[in-house]
């Protein structure tokens, strides 16, 4: 049940409604929608009737949830606004506002120098944040697993040196605190989308969470995974479409373009797209990225490596620094057509990159 209070409802009136629903064992959550207060009822009780709520003072309307997710639901933001998730301290970057958010960097952090070189290159080309894996979820136990704590330290150092906020994955609930001490955004990878203890743990921290859609997860399952994070008290969730597994083998995954407008209608959370893991090939990154922006995505996360041929993971799908500059140049007309802006690279420095 969603309860919309009249504009100007007083605090005691809002509390009165909350106390009423909580007497039925239903948790209540207060959200703002423009000038109005919305009380979202989390959980159900057959004994709690709509009419018993509708007659309470200052209640404007009572509606049933259309969806199993609640805090993630677009119904909590009926004015159509997308939640803006700020990443990094100070100026930082944001996801969900008018400017497209572009996060770029290597699949894995392979060393301090390569990370700094990549950060400088992508920053000059207009990226708003740096990505880089420290703990890697690899299909084979014999494949490169990431450099762990060293990589986290380099991410923090490169953030200090370049000012770019950094994004990295936490694989395990026990890593969450350590990862959160070093980076600005915690990624929950596709393979962990339904790792419920991990979702609960990232729900407790004060850092935005980049939640990637599982390889075989439906949009509803993705939004229910986001709900776990939101329900634990972390409101800053960024969703990521990164391709799903289908019968098609020409690409690593199948980018579900339709998921972007579907998510837009279902949730107020911002949505970005990962064209690198979707296509699995560097030559597919630009067309998939442009399609994602045209379909309404709030940004991109792209794998970039200074020397893709020698990358320790996902070299085939990584753009070189020159390739990333090319991607960003080609992105501009799509951003404009979609009514979005793109951070412009610092004048004069790009040529020196």
Q: Enumerate binding residues for ligand PEP (CB under 6 A).
A: 107, 133, 137, 189-191, 212, 242, 274, 277
Q: 212 touches which of ligand PEP, Mn ion, none (CB within 5 to 8 A by kind)?
A: ligand PEP
Which of residues 41 and 147 has its CB atom nearest to ligand PEP in the complex? 147
Q: Please, which of residues 168-187 interact with Mn ion by CB under 5 A?
A: none
Contact partner at residue 252 from Mn ion, ligand PEP, none, CB < 5 to 8 Å by partner kind: none
Alpha-carbon distance of 300 to 352, in angstroms, equals 25
CA dihedral 225, 226, 227, 230 (to 10 degrees): 140
- Looking at the Cβ atoms of 184 and 314, the one nearer to Mn ion is 314
Q: Sign (positive/negative) of CA torsion 130, 258, 337, 252?
A: positive
- CB of 290 closer than 8 Å to CB of 312: no
Angle at 73 between CA 67 and CA 77, to 5 degrees: 135
| Residue 137 contact, options ligand PEP, Mn ion, none, Cβ 5-8 Å cut-off depending on partner type | ligand PEP
- 233-237 contacts at long range (C-beta below 8 A, 24 or more positions apart): 233/203, 233/204, 234/202, 234/203, 234/204, 234/205, 234/206, 234/207, 234/208, 234/209, 235/71, 235/83, 236/85, 236/86, 236/207, 236/208, 236/209, 237/72, 237/85, 237/208, 237/209, 237/211, 237/269
Residue 5 or 257: which CB sits closer to ligand PEP?
Answer: 257
* Rounded least distance, CB 53 to Mn ion, Å: 48
Binding marks (x or -) toward Mn ion, 305..324, rule CB under 5 A?
Answer: ---------x----------
Nearer to Mn ion, 35 or 142 (CB): 142
- x/- letters, 69..108, toward Mn ion (CB under 5 A): --------------------------------------x-
* Shortest spacing between CB 137 and ligand PEP, in angstroms: 5
The contact mask relative to Mn ion for 107-136 (x = CB under 5 A, - = no) is: x-----------------------------
Q: By the criterion CB under 5 A, which residues form the site for Mn ion?
A: 107, 314
């Amino acid at each position: 049940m969603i309860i919309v209070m009249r504009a100007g409802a007083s605090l005691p009136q809002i509390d009165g409604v909350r106390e009423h629903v909580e007497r039925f064992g239903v948790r209540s959550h207060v959200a703002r929608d423009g000038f109005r207060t919305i009380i979202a009822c989390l959980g159900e009780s057959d004994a709690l009737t709509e009419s018993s709520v509708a007659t309470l003072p200052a209640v404007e309307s009572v509606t049933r949830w259309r969806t199993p997710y609640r805090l993630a639901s677009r119904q909590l933001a009926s004015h159509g606004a997308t939640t803006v998730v700020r990443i990094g301290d100070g100026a930082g970057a944001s996801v969900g506002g008018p400017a497209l958010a572009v996060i770029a960097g290597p699949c894995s952090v392979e060393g301090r120098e390569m990370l700094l070189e990549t950060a400088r290159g992508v920053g000059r080309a207009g990226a708003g944040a740096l990505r880089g894996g420290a703990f890697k979820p690899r299909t084979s136990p014999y494949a490169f697993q990431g450099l762990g704590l060293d990589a986290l330290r380099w991410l923090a150092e490169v953030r200090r040196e370049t000012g770019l906020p950094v994004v990295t994955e936490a694989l395990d609930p026990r890593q969450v605190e350590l990862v959160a001490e070093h980076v600005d955004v915690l990624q929950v990878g596709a393979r962990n989308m339904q790792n419920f203890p991990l979702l609960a743990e990232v729900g407790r921290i004060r850092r935005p969470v980049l939640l990637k859609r599982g390889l075989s997860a439906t949009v509803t399952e993705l939004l229910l995974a986001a709900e776990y994070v939101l329900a634990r008290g972390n409101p800053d969730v960024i969703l990521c479409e990164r391709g799903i597994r289908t019968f098609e083998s020409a690409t690593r995954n199948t980018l579900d373009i339709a998921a972007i407008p579907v998510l837009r209608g279902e949730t107020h959370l911002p949505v970005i797209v990962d064209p690198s893991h979707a296509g699995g090939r560097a030559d597919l990154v630009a067309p998939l990225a442009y399609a994602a922006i045209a379909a309404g995505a709030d940004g991109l996360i792209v794998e970039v490596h200074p020397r893709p041929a020698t990358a320790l993971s996902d070299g085939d799908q990584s753009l070189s620094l020159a390739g990333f500059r090319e991607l960003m140049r080609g992105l501009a007309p799509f951003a404009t057509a979609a009514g979005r802006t793109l951070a412009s690279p610092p004048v004069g420095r790009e040529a020196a990159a």
